[in-house]
Amino acid sequence: MSSRISAIAQHLAPPTAAPASSGSKSCLAKAPKSPDDVVIIEAIRSPLCKGGKGAFKETHPEYIMGEVFKALIKKTGIEPGIVQDIQVGNVLMPGAGVTTARMAALYGGFPNSVPAAAVNRQCSSGLATVGSIAAAIKAGFIDIGIGAGVESMSMYYGPGAMPTDLSPQVMAYGPAADVMIPMGTTSENVAEQFGVTRAEQDAFALRSHTLAAKAAKEGLFAEEIAPIKLADGTVVAADDGIRVPTAELLAKLKPAFKKDGTSTAGNSSQVTDGAAAVLLCRRSYAEKKGLKPIARFLGFTAVGCPPSIMGIGPALAIPQLLTQTGLAINDIGIWEINEAFASQAVYCVKKLGINVEKVNPKGGAIAFGHPMGATGARQIATLLPELRRRKEKFGVISMCVGIGMGVAALVENEVL
């Protein structure tokens, strides 16, 4: 299987690499350890299950999130009452799910003295919460907190999640109206505008499917997953959306969003249910409480881009992140770039000159799904064990964001 993966990767390699230097004068990533560092103590996730069809199709998001919180407390051994803030990303629920986020925190074992908030930065919500908690720690507002995310696309995905009664004056202004362009259409726009072919997209998708199936077979997801016990007693301990299509099957799939388009069900992310959580604190606080850091959180950036081609977001956010932290493309050991659509993932990887073999080495959202509010935190949970396994130092998490943005973050593995 490894030779098959290598062959696929060769087809995805960019013809010419982009400059590897960020040109930054900052050296955040190369600074020695400091008592004021923001560190990650643990990152954990639920299994990812197919929306409407999978194991969580009748399971409420507050239960999934609450069970992940329970697992986080158990795995780290923290006293729940010391946590000073919990932020939960969500895209589809009313009010970003703030009511159910609070319920999940209480059910998950945190006392009512621990506050909770909800964040909706669309597809980056689960990373935005981590960035927000990290910023609060760095500013001295809190010592310890949790950035998390959850999504039940089974229960909330559909037309009801989109606004319908909109201002005619605002909708008459083109750039504002573009925010309402369906995501599938933006994928086609990226493919058409930047010349990403169907063959390139299918090759990238096949690589994602193949790597995810290989990682699942080898048990590489087990460390990051918190098994969830359902109401009927069933224990869900693995992602249930992973499949292994052939190149021939992918090539036969019809375009999903445009009659003569190139984005299909096989090279786009799955509709998925899931949750994830990341525990962060100040290094000095970790030492005081006897908590062992597994990574250092080094940088975060969010940028805007045209909503009509929102998929290019990582190609804009990543260079800013590298400038912010003083690293170059070649310094990064693993890239967790969310695969909303193969069109945009292929474009971003080629545009930045990233070695595709360092991208999503255990597969990505095309293979096992994109529970929008949870994805950013899920990527951290997936990234950290792989950094340790490969003995790599730096990892980047990035994604495009519906409505026209890109977000990226940098972590440093401390378990080499």
Give catalytic residues, as residue numbers: 123, 370, 400
* Pairwise CA distance, residues 1 & 6, whole Å: 9
Give the Cβ contact number of residue 246 at 10 Å.
Answer: 10
Among the residues of 77-141, which ranges form H helices? 98-107, 125-139
- List all residues 6 or more positions away from 87 whose beta carbon is below 8 Å from its beta carbon: 116, 117, 118, 119, 129, 132, 133, 145, 146, 147, 148
* Pairwise CA distance, residues 278 & 301, whole Å: 18
* Pairwise CA distance, residues 298 & 328, whole Å: 14
* Pairwise CA distance, residues 358 & 336, whole Å: 9
| Residue of 375, 414, 415, 416 lying closest to 397 (CA atoms) | 375
DSSP H or E segment with residue 118: strand 116-119
3 state SS of 24: coil
Give me the DSSP letters along 31-73. Answer: SPP-TT-EEEEEEEEPPPEETTTSTTTTS-HHHHHHHHHHHHH
* Pairwise CA distance, residues 188 & 207, whole Å: 20
